[in-house]
Amino acid sequence: MKETNKGKEFKPYISADRVVPELTFTSVIAGIILAVVFGAANAYLGLRVGMTISASIPAAVIGMGIIKVLFRKNSVLEGNMIQTIGSSGESLAAGAIFTMPALFLWASEGLMETPSIVEITLIALFGGVLGIFFMVPLRKALIVKEHGILPYPEGTACAEVMLAGEEGGQSASKVFIGMGIGAGIKFIIDGLKAASGTAVLAVDKLRTEISTEVYPALVSVGYICGIKISSYMFAGGVLGWLVLIPMIGLFGADTVLYPGDTTIYEMWKADGASVLWSNYIRYIGAGAVAAGGIISLIKTLPLIIRTFKEAIIGLKSTEGEAKSTLRTDQDLKITYILGGILIVIVLIAISPSVPVNLLGAVIIAVFGFFFATVSSRMVGLIGSSNNPVSGMAIATLLIATLLLKASGMTGMAGMTGAIAIGSIICIIAAMAGDTSQDLKAGYILGATPKKQQIGELFGAVVSALAIGGVLYLLNEAWGFGTEELAAPQATLMKMIVEGVMGGELPWGLVFIGVFIAIVVEILRIPVLPVAIGLYLPLELTTCIMVGGAVRWFVESRKYKNEAEKENVINSGVLGCSGMIAGEGIVGIILAIFAIIPVGSRTVSDVLAKAGNVINTGQIGGLVILVLIVLAVLKLTIWSKRSEETGQK
């Protein structure tokens, strides 16, 4: 690939000598709205299932739809700017929810004060801005010099969506239809409570239960991930609930096993299999997830070192080049970038939210630049979905906690400090990866890099302001670590920090999870999906598996050619992305309702009382699950069939 692309001059879609609208009032406002919507939706999704989705392609489709349908014009670079700003919200949210809810969990245990919205916003803002700043000087080395070598899958896909702008309005409609479906079902289940969100079948002989949730977001996650990842997650759930829980329940019936304080049989008799999961399987799953993250980091370590080295060499090779006057070569001035980085370093040092001095802030920036470089180049090679951000976060937390402990900062001060440091670096890595994908799309389309970078900063600032409110609101309404919001990644990070600082953990259970992860790796099965499935309640992975099975069914149908197959599958991806966004938005709205008083009750209580009149229970929930599957089929294979009938 190197030989075929080397020396060839790349011609973007919009030539460098043409000046067309990009950073306009329309694109900024639309992009900001999408950044908030997808950021909030992804925060809600990630806190429920420990996974987020890429918002780049849905944002690109909606961007083109807004420009073509609402404003009746062809302006591909305005649509690209909407996507650039809009996708930043998802990336910042993904980085934030992996770590910062740990602070709320400690607050719920009475160990510290609840972090304020300002504290959360500042930490998110530091990470978001640094992630963008670090990527700017790397653009020529990674995007320009390596064009044709680094594919940047999501960035290239976004550019293709933009170039296929004739379908923008029709494709965008599928996203909005999905949003309506997701929002409506979420409101029926959790707002009116007219049907049960979970269907459960107790299996008393095995001391366990089989269950599934019936939410559109979970089915959508399964569809987007595909059958392989969904089945790996489901396998982890089966291992936890149909193997480990029965073994604990049957073999240890009369045993009092820490962290439980009564016999296992008494615990199960009183609260069912879920209490065995929360007391034992959760720690085994945490060990597996931590080991999976570290294994993925170790496996990619040679690639990480090589990519960082090559990126720095590429960066040096661009320093001596004559400054280009072409519009498509214009980045933000390096003096602005360096000044901005220095300002953020000083703000980190003086911020009470991050308990480090100036030297500590510089170390954060150095680590951040390393992970930003690694993240930016690795998403170019393997895509955002395979970027080992969780492994980077675990490694950062381990190092930060050890350093703080060595410096004498122990107890809650040391643990909160480690989470703050880990949050900033995790967000830096996530934002740098997203920025590189956006700049790749812009490079193909002929966007002005400087304007895209300004757009990214708009998105980061607004998303940081929004994520603080979203986290605070969700915690006030339901609390993290609860059935509604398990916050699996943040719970894991909390356990790691507590374990390193010397807090009490059932290390035996954790190491069982570690060795399960090692066995899975030896079998050459992807560790993280299995580990996440083991860590999550079975009802989540079962519902995700349903979505994966639907994707398999859609893919197994006969099509005229590959282009038609891709079109049908992508229609489902867009519709499912909309379902996730719609459910997430209503989830945020219901969280607001849960804290708005109406006399002695809340708006949520009033809605639930009204909906309880027609409560259909688990049967209604299963009917809704069938309807979700039918909706996905309608957006995919049945949509294709109706189009063919219309053509005849």
Contact of 430 with 128, CB cutoff 8 Å: no
Contact of 450 with 331, CB cutoff 8 Å: yes
Contact of 35 with 82, CB cutoff 8 Å: no
What are the pLDDT digits (tens) for 429-473?
889 988 998 999 999 999 999 999 999 999 999 999 999 889 989
High-pLDDT (> 70) share of the chain, %: 90
Contact of 175 with 457, CB cutoff 8 Å: no
Q: How far apart are CA 19 and CA 381, in angstroms?
A: 31
Residue 320, SS3 per DSSP:
coil
| Stronger pLDDT, 88 or 643, i.e. the higher one | 88
Find which of 261-275, 465-479, 512-526 is predicted with most confidence, using mean pLDDT: 512-526
| Stronger pLDDT, 239 or 114, i.e. the higher one | 239
Residue 340 pLDDT: 94
Q: Quick one: which of 501, 430, 438 has its CA closest to 100?
A: 430
For 203, the enclosing helix (H) or strand (E) is strand 198-203
Residue 639 pLDDT: 77
Q: How far apart are CA 211 and CA 208, in angstroms?
A: 10
Candidate from 102-116, 291-305, 382-396 with smallest mean pLDDT: 382-396
Contact of 403 with 329, CB cutoff 8 Å: no
Question: What's the DSSP call for residue 322?
Answer: P
Tokens of 643: 């189009």
The chain-wide mean pLDDT, for the chain, equals 85
Residue 53, SS3 per DSSP:
coil
Contact of 452 with 442, CB cutoff 8 Å: yes
What are the pLDDT digits (tens) for 150-192?
778 778 878 877 776 644 456 778 888 998 999 999 999 999 9
| Stronger pLDDT, 300 or 138, i.e. the higher one | 138
For 518-525, the CB contacts below 8 A with 24+ separation are 518/291, 518/295, 520/288, 520/292, 521/295, 525/232
Q: What angle do CA 226, 80, 126 make, to 5 degrees?
A: 85
Candidate from 132-136, 295-299, 517-521, 525-529 with smallest mean pLDDT: 295-299
Residue 645 pLDDT: 46
Residue 300, SS3 per DSSP:
coil
Mean pLDDT of 414-425: 91
What are the pLDDT digits (tens) for 301-344?
776 677 667 666 765 665 555 566 788 888 888 889 989 999 99
Residue matched to tokens 């699996």: 488
Question: What's the DSSP call for residue 99?
Answer: T
High-pLDDT (> 90) share of the chain, %: 36
Please name the residues in contact with 131: beta carbons below 8 A apart, sequence gap of 6 or more: 368, 372, 427, 428, 429, 430, 431, 432, 434, 435, 460
What are the pLDDT digits (tens) for 540-554?
899 999 999 999 999
| Stronger pLDDT, 535 or 132, i.e. the higher one | 132
Q: How far apart are CA 630 and CA 624, in angstroms?
A: 10
Residue 601 φ/ψ, nearest 5 degrees: -120, -170
Where does 205-360 show beta strands of DSSP type E? 208-213
Residue 65, SS3 per DSSP:
helix
Residue 182 pLDDT: 93
Q: Quick one: which of 311, 384, 427 has its CA closest to 155?
A: 384
